[in-house]
Amino acid sequence: MKVAFHTLGCKVNQYETEYIKQNFIKANYEIVDFEDFADIYIVNTCTVTNMADKKSRQMINRPKKINQDAVVVAIGCYAQREDGKLDDNLDIDLIIGNTKKNHVLEVVEDFLKNHVRNYLVESMDQTQDYETMWLADVSENVRAYIKVQDGCNQFCAYCIIPYVRGRIRSRPYLDIISEVEQLVEHGFKEVVLTGIHLASYQDESNMLIDLIEGIHAICGLERVRLGSLEPNLITDEFASRLGKMSKICAHFHLSLQSGCDITLEAMNRKYTTAMYMERVNLLRQYFKTPAFTTDIIVGFPDESDDDFAKTVSFVKSIGFLDVHVFKYSIREGTKAASMTNQIDGMIKDQRSKALIRIGKIGHEAYLTGMVGKIYKVLIEEHIEYEDQDYYIGHTENYVKFYIKTYEFTSKINKIILAKALYLIEDIMVGAVV
């Protein structure tokens, strides 16, 4: 039988989809594209914003238009949160929340035998055991995402994730090491550590920095990239230990959300802009020209024009490679949903567009600063762009490089030295050294 997958949202969702896909492959199912005719469609959903909800609904409702008789499975965060509201949607045959993702194959095969709709959504109010998943391989050619942690205890005022993912639980240290070793044996050069709240990882006495050191020591692995981090994690000890590891990619996604201290406090973010700047400068002491990326919410309740202006000023002061801008989205059940002085949608749009423009200026400035310098590029794919063949890869600081193919023979999944030559819009074109 043919099965198709679609994943929305975060890197954790991507990892979980890869695990589920792996189980179907082992059971001799054929994997096809989501837009193709399939017998089974599995949508791993997201609910972090209203837009994520909308996209989840769209993808859930699409398969029956391709194959009226297909089995449609909605799993993940939106399925967890909207359980009762999805019961009457006849386009959905199975609803699976965030506690049974390692049983998707069994649930689907049971449905194929008995044709009984099933709703496997359990409450996340109590701490759950870590749901065991293990990847033997992944569909991406050169980079593997490794889920090491689930859940969140932060309860930021705007965020629904602790309610749909539950409390913090971490994966056993040795289990992670073994998975990475196996992936390296299969040829992967780079791993990316992911989690819902990665900074909170802890297995017995092993904290996140201990886990990173353990992975760094694996022979044959050439790059370790970190997922989203919290500023509070970046102590001098953490930064100094991290700086001693040559395989660490100097690309840090440090969650900001606002550049105004008043807004940060209202959001229940546990740092100030001064602390954030201090942690950025700390990493810059140990890494040469690191790239910083971040997320920012505009239009949080009671955010004044002056508050937003402070965010703009702070973003300019950091010099981010990329700024991901989100308009505040009311999530029922969160503290911010009941706050007074919700911001008008037009104001949110204006602020979003303004901050995106500022982010693009910073992005171009960072890339311009790279021109003339030499970088290690992990080659990932071959494409044709404007009648020219290129190999494409990423540097340690996660900048995409285009290198003309005639400069070398096929180097997919190889790390090469390349010099940044010039930009075509925001594309870096380089040459082999």
The class that CATH gives domain 143-362 is alpha beta
Q: In terms of DSSP bridges, do strands 400-404 and 415-424 run parallel, antiparallel, or are they unpaired?
A: unpaired
Residue showing tokens 């910073």: 362
**Across 162-182, average pLDDT:** 95
CA distance 286 to 252: 13
Mean pLDDT of the chain: 94
- Per-residue pLDDT of 264-278, as tens digits, reads 999 999 999 999 999
User: For 216, phi and psi rounded to 5 degrees?
Assistant: -60, -30
Angle at 430 between CA 424 and CA 433, to 5 degrees: 165
**Across 223-243, average pLDDT:** 97
**Superfamily per CATH, domain 374-432:** Nucleic acid-binding proteins (2.40.50.140)
Q: b/e for 276-302, b at 16 or more Cβ within 10 A?
A: beebbebbbebbeebbbbbebbbbbbe
CA distance 101 to 43: 12
Question: What is the pTM (predicted TM-score) of this model?
Answer: 0.93
For residue 139, the model assigns a pLDDT of 66
For residue 427, the model assigns a pLDDT of 85
CA distance 66 to 227: 35
Domain ranges of the chain: 2-120, 143-362, 374-432
Residues 6+ apart with CB under 8 A from 392: 379, 380, 381, 382, 383, 400, 401, 402, 403
- Per-residue pLDDT of 325-382, as tens digits, reads 999 999 999 999 999 999 999 999 999 999 999 999 999 999 999 999 999 999 999 8
Is the pLDDT at 162 greater than 90, yes or no? yes
User: For 85, phi and psi rounded to 5 degrees?
Assistant: -75, -20
Fold of the domain built from segment(s) 2-120: Rossmann fold (3.40.50)
**Contact criterion met (CB below 8 Å) for 66 and 38:** yes
- Per-residue pLDDT of 17-38, as tens digits, reads 999 999 999 999 999 999 999 9
Alpha helices in 3-103 (DSSP H): 11-26, 50-61, 63-66, 77-81, 83-86
- The alpha carbon of 258 is separated from its chain's Cα centroid by a whole number of angstroms, namely 19
pLDDT above 90 coverage of the chain, percent: 84
Long-range contacts of 161-165 (CB under 8 A, 24+ apart): 161/48, 161/77, 161/196, 163/81, 163/124, 163/333, 163/334, 164/47, 164/77, 164/80, 164/81, 164/97, 164/98, 164/124, 165/77, 165/98, 165/124, 165/196
- Alpha-carbon distances of 21 from 2, 331, 341, rounded to whole Å: 12, 30, 45
Could you tell me which of 234, 288, 227 has the C-alpha nearest to residue 252? Answer: 227
